[in-house]
A and B are shown apart, each in its own frame.
Chain A
Amino acid sequence: MSELEQQLQTLRVEAETALAGCADLAALTQLKAKYIGTHGAVTAVLKALGRLPKEDKPRVGKLANEVKNTLATAFAARQEELESHISHLQSQMDTTLPGRRHRLGRLHPLTQIFEETVRIFRRMGFAVEDGPEIEDEWHCFDALNTPSDHPARDIQDTLYVDLPPHAKYGRYLLRTHTSPVQIRTMLRHQPPVRIIAPGRVFRRDNPDATHSPTFHQIEGLYVDRNVSVADLKGTVEFFFKQLLSPDTQVRFRPHFFPYTEPSFEIDLSTPHFRARGKEWIEIAGCGMVDPHVFKAVGYPDDAYTGWAFGFGIERLAMVQYGITDIRLFTENDVRFLEQF
């Protein structure tokens, strides 16, 4: 027996012994590399065959291949054994342990109502519009048929910003409603105008459970040649049924706003509200755009009619979810935010 044959036999015994004691896959991979890998010992013997005398080559070569194959089979068998052992262990895993999650964050509940509102109005061909939070008196009041001597200005107690007044548009203020977006849009575009304007508004209110000096509104405006109260009712009903539930009942009540004539308040009744013991909930204001407003934006006299509506998001969220303190919306307790 040549030296190489001797070496092969030793390697085989050595490898088989090591294999028997190998208990994990990582060690197995190392062993495999050590004996039959590219740089392995058995592989090295096979590479050395070329240096043997011609008559020894077939015999030793046969043996070397035999050893390599035997070991390869043994390694494969051992690998399977180990793997099935692991999968057996895994099958005994405590599946009641909590899952490993990548928790999603939540949108603020007011954002969710904004986004849902925009989605619904886009289905009806409305575009989204925006305007500044610092407005001037003309855009916020005068153009909306609320001149400075009008008692309606008392209803909205206004916060004025410490800036020099605009030469033409008057003092700067925090907008008390999203309605100036109507004015800005109509100044830029001729009808048809169909817009929805979500935004933040401000009032000089002391914060308490039901008042916040900062809150949010959505404004809608539709102007065209012959827009009517019937169109207004159709749109408002469609919207609230989509947003709240198909069972929502909508009631219009005559009211007054300087910028619409006739004006209405919108009351809603849903099974959800009724379950909370409230028959009708006053939720929004609306009406047909006052001719003075069309005049302010320079639309020709009598050419167009239109409607506008607006509602407060906080109030809607509060009645919908049964939230009794408006301050929760700006406190940002994650236990609150995670519920929506």
Chain B
Amino acid sequence: MSEQELHPNVEWIAREARRPVVLGAGARERLLDAIREEPLPERPSRVEWFTGRRRVALSPLVGAALAAGLVGIGVLAGRFSNDDGRDRDDRTAVGQPETVATAPSGQLPSNTDTVRVLKFVLVAPQAASVSVVGDFNGWDAKATMMTKTRTGGTWSVTMRIPAGRHLYAFVVDGKQWMADPSAPLAPDDGFGTPNSVALVGGSSS
């Protein structure tokens, strides 16, 4: 669809709406006062995050999956809703997704009580790049790039993840941020894109 030439009346509306606006008196000062009352934002320590031991409570379903040696995360199945600003057209950016089976973590080594190995999988045949972002890698879209299989459009990466509850998402082509439709959605954190939740067991016994 090419960009349309605006009807003169619509162009007038847009032009008028581009004028600056002024909020109520003192709005900016109230905002700055509120910020000054906030504690200083702190950088999280990644080292501490990855090495710290955590006690986690697992849901019965996740516990059963872990007991069977199965941890499946990261399947693009394409559930979008209008409520969060996404619709089915979004899927065209990465091609028609399909459900795939994820590799069980039981195939992979797991060395400690507090670290597990998870395989993230995303089907995105038309994507040029896919990465996984989460609290475990500082939400850095370039930190954990996924690898595409030789055939098909499946992207995957295997990571060592500390036990606990983690939020994560996928970033397609470096810019399209999407939750994992096959996993529970995290509560809205106000950053404009939904995240998924992974519960990772903390005990190997």
A binds B: no
Give the B-binding residues of A (Cβ under 8 A): none
Give the A-binding residues of B (Cβ under 8 A): none
